[in-house]
């Protein structure tokens, strides 16, 4: 445990809040922790019965490039992860899923940020006809192609790597180890 001695809010913005805390470590020494507060998020691996996955491609300002990602989004105030997953799947990819299963949850960058991401697999997909959000392109590829893109360095987003690997190898019925 680390004990908070003083917490100063440096910034509170649209998507994040930054605090700078003075803390006491278990051995009694003092240090500073910079912490980003985030409302939490979801990511969804939408898989068709043919074994295809839907990815979105979008420009990411912080890294200055377009990335392939699984659909994802930030929890709204009071929203459940399941609701957020269904909403983002419709908004970003124009899909409704008859089945949404929780794969797991993880912290994105626990050394500096409290963001917790909930990971889902969506199957039995129905197209809603809704156009994807402006700036987003949707691509449908084989799951095995997505694995190749990870190994070749064409998919370079952490949640997408977690999600694809989990959907391909982490499901109970596919245990091989």
Measured CA to CA, the distance from residue 96 to residue 39 in angstroms comes to: 24
Binding a copy of itself (rule: CB under 8 A), the pick from 60, 99, 130, 140 is: 60
Task: For residue 107, state whether it binds a copy of itself (rule: CB under 8 A).
Answer: yes
Q: Which CB, 123 or 170, lies closer to a copy of itself? A: 170
Query: Could you tell me where the DSSP H helices lie in 16-122?
Result: 81-93
134 carries an active-site annotation: yes
Measured CA to CA, the distance from residue 161 to residue 146 in angstroms comes to: 9
DSSP lists the bridge partners of residue 55 as 139
Task: For residue 57, state whether it binds a copy of itself (rule: CB under 8 A).
Answer: no
Identify the CA nearest to 10 among candidates 34, 30, 38, 40: 34
* Encoded tokens for 65: 């490039």
**Which member of 134, 139, 154, 175 is catalytic?**
134
Choose the binding region for a copy of itself from 84-92, 93-101, 123-131, 148-156 (rule: CB under 8 A): 148-156
Name residues whose C-beta falls within 8 Å of residue 64's C-beta, 6 or more positions apart in sequence.
none
- The footprint of a copy of itself (CB under 8 A) covers 1-2, 10-11, 13-16, 18, 20-21, 23, 25-27, 32-36, 38, 59-64, 67, 69, 104-117, 134-135, 143-144, 147, 150-151, 153, 156-159, 161-162, 165-166, 168-170, 172, 176-177
Enumerate the active-site residues: 134
């Amino acid at each position: 445990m680390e004990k908070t001695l003083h917490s100063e809010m440096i910034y509170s913005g649209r998507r994040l809040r930054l605090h700078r805390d003075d803390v006491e470590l278990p051995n009694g020494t003092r240090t500073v922790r910079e912490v980003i507060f985030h409302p939490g998020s979801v990511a969804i691996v939408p898989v068709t019965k043919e074994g295809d996955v839907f990815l979105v491609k979008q420009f990411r300002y912080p890294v200055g490039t377009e990335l392939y990602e699984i659909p994802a989004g930030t929890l709204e105030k009071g929203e459940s992860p399941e609701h957020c997953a269904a909403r983002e799947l419709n908004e970003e990819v124009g899909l409704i899923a008859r089945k949404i299963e929780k794969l797991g949850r993880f912290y994105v960058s626990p050394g500096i940020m409290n963001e917790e991401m909930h990971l889902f697999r969506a199957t039995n997909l129905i197209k809603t006809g809704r156009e994807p959000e402006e700036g987003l392109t949707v691509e449908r590829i084989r799951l095995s192609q997505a694995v190749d893109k990870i190994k070749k360095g064409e998919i370079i987003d952490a949640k997408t790597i977690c999600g694809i690997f989990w959907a391909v190898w982490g499901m109970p019925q596919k245990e091989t180890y």
